[in-house]
Structure 1
């Protein structure tokens, strides 16, 4: 028997339970051999694609449980979803919205690392770096060269306090700054931006929401109370770079948005493998006193919008019109159980989630109804920023500024410029930052 955390679409959900599995009695100690056997036993029991696992696995042939997981995962659907993380690191993220890093989110644009967001009170913030800047060198080497050689991840270093780099970043005006910074604990503000705009006499709320973790509940309540107090009747929910988080927070956010229209309706239905069908259940939208009871919703997305972000969109669509603006989302309609062992947590994909109409399986992502760029030349929350400007156009006119180029959904990574960077997984994928 062991304590578990329940995760949805690459992230931990708010359930606490004891999950007995075949592997529960097989962790004799924390030797590599014992951990390998344990991970395989858990996968054979709870893994959603259990029938796709290799029939025979020599657990002694792998140098670590991480290596074993990498070998047995079901491809192509589970390229990066199932993972093993460090227990202390996982708990810091989900409990306190913290990670060890420099404090910036970025993309790669062919010239360097384009800064998309800076977290306050972080090493990156202290250097004066801001959205729109571009890191061009790290420890004397050009970022272009590091990316081409596949060593950019090594240059940015491990999740370890004190790891430092020297770097140069450039501004749009061509000025350059040389600085250094060392990794430390960084707190991600879950509600990073909250604004209100007046459009044609209506007050439009704008909420940039960064992750679905425990502190998000209070942050969302405070944000929705503020929006209600100023009389906001519309909402632009910005989920770009939001890799997911707790299912309970997704349920909370969707309930705040849907209000009386969704209260008591099906939020999501869980489906497990045949051995665990008894775990299948229906969760419902909740009653909230501070709801905006919106009649429609506009959501900004990028290729980094995953998991619980996609769950909110999919869960609301049977009940209110939801228009997505920006880029196709990542594509992760499955979830995990977080199972602690030794000093680690195993997150095997264990279930899929479908909405009230039985819709799910969006492994190619949720296509943007109104395509728009992630405009790093403008700050987040600036109504002139391309994606927000398009969202406000949708609010004002009820339609996109231009017809979508194609109605066909894109593959989840075609809409992002991160393809040339090492693939992120696990908590790195969730945080979407360094």
Structure 2
């Protein structure tokens, strides 16, 4: 991906409060807080919001830092109170936050985070495991996709959710007894303790070249979990193998991919679209009215680059869900003007905006929503999500990417016939009421939780 200037993407390479780093003078006209006291931190993040927040025109003058207990609370309350709202009157910005700088660096650089090692969602008032990361405490504790969690430390899921909330519960407990029910109704208890979990962004077991029959090009498929730097070298190997096999249609399973590094999204765009669109616009970034004039139009654009293993793609099929967000949507939306793009599964989350990272006080990072992206056709209005073309159920009783996974079945139908299949439920599987009674966990939090639903 070619840029005519280096844009702010994930982390500004500066130290906003440290003693050994370069000062970031773009915030409030100054460098770093006068002190890293609580008030100093609150003033710093408020000044940063006035400077970099995408909707800074909505922030009233004279916000009093004394009204907030901490920089974390200030960012949350200011952005949800004064930021934009959706058609239902709910805050549109659910992403701006203050977090741990070390945790951010470990997640984006190595795919590491401290936790149990699973993803989940709510189905009909029940907590259900949707994914378990390989080698994690959850995996070693025998949790698996499709399991129901009936109790947490002896308390029902509904009790935890209705009181402190599931996020606060897991934040407060390093060791948890999970009372689990399998889909066959058998039960077991398992005690799981947090540890460092490493997310494999492109698991080898979910990279497939699928034979479509004699005389028909095979289909390339892989699951992509999150946009982090460790995915980047894997792309080249995957697409090299796809080219060698004669693949023309690519299916990327991003049903739980909440985004990540824009740099990684742009690289994936090069492998998918660089062959035929070298030098054309991939996306354009817009900042607030104060920051936008600091860049020329071309400096805010990213352009396709043809790489050695860029694929001469015929069709791009995205497996999506309401958890598919941000960088996942950026790639999908940016390919739309150039390729035959299909979305299978469900509508995506709807996040055409992104955050920059501003480190401060050596150990913290402010991540305000600061830019919006649009494709070469100028489209960026998808706060309600990118629309699904072929609805398909994400049945947790079936492994991701299995032959009878309804999402893969739909994707292969598109590849072979150019149309969606007649919706069916695999034999022996009880289908939930499609697209109803499913509630996703709160996404705001550390990077692993927000971008990979990783707990």
Regarding TM over 0.5, the answer is yes
Residue aligned with 2:269, SS? helix
Instruction: Choose from 41, 48, 51 the match for 2:47.
Output: 41
5 Å-filtered alignment, 1:338-377, equals 338-342=357-361, 343-377=363-397
5 Å-filtered alignment, 1:28-427, equals 28-73=34-79, 74-76=83-85, 78-110=92-124, 112-149=126-163, 151-158=165-172, 163-192=174-203, 193-201=206-214, 202-277=217-292, 278-279=294-295, 281-342=300-361, 343-402=363-422, 419=439, 421-422=441-442, 424-425=444-445, 427=447
**Contact 1:303 1:329 survives alignment (8 Å):** yes
Return the TM-score normalized by structure 2: 0.86
**Contact 2:248 2:315 survives alignment (8 Å):** no
- Deviation of 1:421 after TM superposition, in Å, equals 4.5
Residue aligned with 2:419, SS? coil
Q: Distance in 2 between matches of 1:361 and 1:231?
A: 35
Moved more, 257-266 or 99-108: 257-266
Q: Distance in 1 between matches of 2:92 and 2:322?
A: 17
- Deviation of 1:111 after TM superposition, in Å, equals 5.3
Change over 3 Å in CA distance of 1:6–1:383 after alignment to 2: farther
- Deviation of 1:79 after TM superposition, in Å, equals 3.1
User: 1:34-75 CA distances to partner (integer Å, 9 max, x unpaired)?
Assistant: 011111111111111111002221112211011111222113
Change over 3 Å in CA distance of 1:154–1:41 after alignment to 2: closer
Residue aligned with 2:188, SS? strand
Change over 3 Å in CA distance of 1:260–1:420 after alignment to 2: closer
User: 1:59-109 CA distances to partner (integer Å, 9 max, x unpaired)?
Assistant: 122110111112221132543121111111111100101111111111111
- Deviation of 1:282 after TM superposition, in Å, equals 0.9
Change over 3 Å in CA distance of 1:243–1:415 after alignment to 2: farther
Larger strand share, 1 or 2 = 1
Q: Distance in 1 between matches of 2:283 and 2:60?
A: 31
Return the TM-score normalized by structure 1: 0.90
Moved more, 15-24 or 309-318: 15-24
- Deviation of 1:260 after TM superposition, in Å, equals 1.8
Residue aligned with 1:376, SS? coil
- Deviation of 1:420 after TM superposition, in Å, equals 7.1
- Deviation of 1:229 after TM superposition, in Å, equals 2.8
- Deviation of 1:431 after TM superposition, in Å, equals 2.2
Change over 3 Å in CA distance of 1:391–1:415 after alignment to 2: same
Q: Distance in 2 between matches of 1:246 and 1:152?
A: 27
Q: Distance in 1 between matches of 2:78 and 2:371?
A: 17
**Contact 2:315 2:415 survives alignment (8 Å):** no
Residue aligned with 2:229, SS? coil
**Contact 2:175 2:193 survives alignment (8 Å):** yes
Residue aligned with 1:199, SS? coil
Residue aligned with 2:218, SS? strand
Q: Distance in 2 between matches of 1:259 and 1:247?
A: 16
Number of positions where the alignment pairs a residue of Structure 1 with one of Structure 2: 413
Q: Distance in 2 between matches of 1:417 and 1:191?
A: 29
Change over 3 Å in CA distance of 1:423–1:94 after alignment to 2: closer
Partner of 2:430: none
Q: Distance in 1 between matches of 2:96 and 2:243?
A: 39
**Contact 1:80 1:426 survives alignment (8 Å):** no
Change over 3 Å in CA distance of 1:420–1:45 after alignment to 2: closer
Q: Distance in 1 between matches of 2:262 and 2:58?
A: 26
- Deviation of 1:388 after TM superposition, in Å, equals 1.4
Q: Distance in 1 between matches of 2:53 and 2:170?
A: 32
**Contact 2:100 2:365 survives alignment (8 Å):** yes
- The list of structure 1 runs, each at least 4 consecutive aligned residues, that deviate by more than 6 angstroms after superposition, is none
User: 1:304-361 CA distances to partner (integer Å, 9 max, x unpaired)?
Assistant: 1110000000100000010000111111111222000011111111111111111112
Partner of 2:3: none
Q: Distance in 2 between matches of 1:368 and 1:254?
A: 20
- Deviation of 1:423 after TM superposition, in Å, equals 5.2
Structure 2: give runs of 5+ residues left out of the alignment: 1-5, 15-21, 86-90, 424-433
